[in-house]
Structure 1
């Protein structure tokens, strides 16, 4: 993602979008790292939901870049969507496990 950001123009709008993309994309990794260190199911869910939100925001900024034709980010967008799908699947799995274990 950082390599993509380096290729963006220096226009005012590109600077704002690149700043937001940098924050969102790096927060995905930071929050996923936090997910891996959780000690409870509730904490796992909370941290993973944050990572999912940041991945979704990353997709938004990538979609704007793609729409402006500044840089081809189709591979990065695909990767971010895959991460979102993994996070959603993981959340469904753990929520189902919690629901079934409380019966």
Structure 2
């Protein structure tokens, strides 16, 4: 990653979503499940890693509404991951400590995403109001 020339401070959302994806990958790699239940681990793998990918995609959004849209999709993926983590815990595929730890990270990401979306939407409304007043 050091060879990537885009040098800027990474946001907490960027860092936390990337760390969450790594935790999801590590968790799934240790789950021993029969082939017929593979789709369960695949679902949490896909939704849990999609959050960070969508946050990364949002960094180069074409507009602020595109940025908000990408974050909304990341929020939906995070909520889906929450569901799969609950299901995996309730069916005995992950321990209570794993569950609580992963859920804590998931909830933190949800809170950051919701806050980020609200901030951008409020900023957009303020800019629109300022544009109208300037005319």
Question: 1:1-103 residue pairs with structure 2 within 5 A?
Answer: 1-11=24-34, 12-13=36-37, 15-72=38-95, 73-103=99-129
Q: Could you list the runs of 5+ residues in structure 2 that have no partner in the other structure?
A: 1-23, 130-135
> Deviations for 1:20-39, whole angstroms, at most 9, x for unmatched residues?
01111111111111011224
Q: Could you list the runs of 5+ residues in structure 1 that have no partner in the other structure?
A: none
Alignment length (residue pairs): 102
2:18 corresponds to: none
- Structure 2-normalised TM-score? 0.70
Aligned CA RMSD, in angstroms, stands at 1.3
- Structure 1-normalised TM-score? 0.90
Structure exhibiting the larger radius of gyration computed from Cα positions: 2
